[in-house]
Amino acid sequence: MSAPRRLRILVLVQPTLLPPDSLEGLDERARYEVKTEYDVVSTLRRLGHEVRALGVRDELLPIREQVEQWRPHVVFNLLEDFFGLREFDHHVVSYLELLRVPYTGCNPRGLVLARDKALSKKILAYHRIAVPRFDVVRRGRKPRMGRAVTYPRIVKSLTEEGSVGIAQASVVEDDAQMAARVEFIHRRLETDAIVEDYIDGREIYVGIVGNARLTVLPPWELFFRNPVAGTRPIATARVKHDPDMQERREIWQGPAELPNDLRQRLEATARRIYRLLHLDGYARLDFRLRADGTAFFIEANPNPEVAESEEFASSALEAGLDYGTLLSRIVSLGIRRGSP
């Protein structure tokens, strides 16, 4: 049975990111903070759908009330955490499944596998996909030292995403720097740490849309045109989320120029990873591309940033999917979850 043309769509957002009816009067920082929520809600309304945004932080009851009273055709999930914890995001999706309401984005299993950077790398390494060598340092423990450890390495949160906790200091050159950065992750982010080989290369993103049948979007690259001397070309939190720094340092994203054979290998690898990690809906896979052409998987981002100006939507546009078409495709995949 086909879905009606005009849909009731419930959009789940953080309470502090409820989108306004208009961006007029907001300063640049405020516009940037709500860009995704505003773009999604305003575009779906422009497409003719009836849309409600619901702020969700630490209670599931409001979701149930909206589902039972308003009976949305689909829930558009823009939540990145629950109860302030990113590793709880899959519980909200599981709850939507218990309510038997269609939802956009990734299923609970894919969210769990992708959230743990070490677990996802173990799975992919077993299937002979290139990943950096890594160690996990649990909270309260010290990192492993010794002759087998080579540098440089990069220290990150095991479960956070969006470059949270990543700075130039994350790339460490010796045991002392590694121990200090691990302690920082444990103390400031209150998560386990993953310490992996730093891959000197290009930052490449590959977006995928689909459930059973997949559309691989054109590989996208993060460019550093005017870096500070002595810094590494990595996607730090400031690089990702500071528009002033992006403009000052000429940091931008665009189509990755790759030889055809390398592009085909990268896209085939991305397809394999998407299926091996049980992802569906839409996701972005992050790679570091070494000069010899080896693409190292870094992490998977199910339900990635879908603001119109960000890399996922820009890559989709390069593939011929305008923003409205992309959101409609995501909604359709959510409604048809479980079918080809």
**Does residue 140 share a domain with residue 34?**
no
The reported pLDDT for the residue numbered 61 is: 96
Inside any domain, residue 76: yes
**Does residue 89 share a domain with residue 31?**
yes
The reported pLDDT for the residue numbered 334 is: 96
**Does residue 151 share a domain with residue 43?**
no
- What is residue 189's three-state secondary structure? helix
Q: What is the pLDDT of residues 127-157, one digit of tens each?
A: 999 999 999 999 999 888 766 778 999 999 9
Q: How confident is the model at residue 231 (pLDDT cuts 50, 70, 90)?
A: confident
Residue 94 pLDDT greater than 70, yes or no: yes
Q: How confident is the model at residue 6 (pLDDT cuts 50, 70, 90)?
A: very high
Inside any domain, residue 1: no
Burial class (CB in 10 A: 0-12, 13-18, 19+), 152: middle
Inside any domain, residue 154: yes
**Does residue 205 share a domain with residue 330?**
yes
Q: What is the CATH number of the domain that holds 174?
A: 3.30.1490
The reported pLDDT for the residue numbered 147 is: 64
Q: How confident is the model at residue 24 (pLDDT cuts 50, 70, 90)?
A: confident
**Does residue 210 share a domain with residue 190?**
no
The reported pLDDT for the residue numbered 132 is: 96
**Does residue 222 share a domain with residue 186?**
no
**Does residue 326 share a domain with residue 211?**
yes
Q: What is the CATH number of the domain that holds 278?
A: 3.30.470.20
Q: Give the mean model confidence (pLDDT) for residues 185-191.
A: 94
Region of residue 200 (left: phi > 0; alpha: psi -120 to 50; beta: else): beta
Burial class (CB in 10 A: 0-12, 13-18, 19+), 290: middle
The reported pLDDT for the residue numbered 225 is: 84
Inside any domain, residue 3: no
Q: What are the structure tokens assigned to 313, written together?
A: 């939507």
Q: Give the mean model confidence (pLDDT) for residues 302-315.
A: 95
Which of 197, 213, 235 lies at the terminal end of a domain, its last residue?
A: 197
**Does residue 205 share a domain with residue 307?**
yes
Inside any domain, residue 264: yes
**Does residue 209 share a domain with residue 192?**
no
Inside any domain, residue 223: yes
Number of domains in the chain: 3
Q: Give the mean model confidence (pLDDT) for residues 259-286.
A: 98
- Does the model's pTM come out above 0.75? yes
Q: What is the pLDDT of residues 66-87, one digit of tens each?
A: 999 999 999 999 998 888 878 8
**Does residue 148 share a domain with residue 64?**
no
- Contact, 195 vs 178, CB < 8 A? yes
- The full DSSP string for 230-287 is T------HHHHH-HHHHHHTTEEEEE----HHHHHHHHHHHHHHHHHTT--EEEEEEE
Domain span holding position 159: 133-197
Q: Give the mean model confidence (pLDDT) for residues 98-127.
A: 96
The reported pLDDT for the residue numbered 1 is: 40
Residue 160 pLDDT greater than 90, yes or no: no
Inside any domain, residue 270: yes
Instruction: Tell me the residue ranges of DSSP E strands in the chain.
Output: 8-13, 50-55, 74-77, 134-137, 153-157, 171-172, 193-197, 201-210, 214-216, 220-224, 251-255, 281-290, 295-302
Residue at 253: amino acid letter: Q
**Does residue 331 share a domain with residue 213?**
yes
**Does residue 183 share a domain with residue 268?**
no
The reported pLDDT for the residue numbered 340 is: 41
Inside any domain, residue 179: yes
Quote the CA–CA distance of 214 and 337 in Å, as a whole number: 13
Dihedral over Cα of 109, 275, 106, 170: its sign: positive
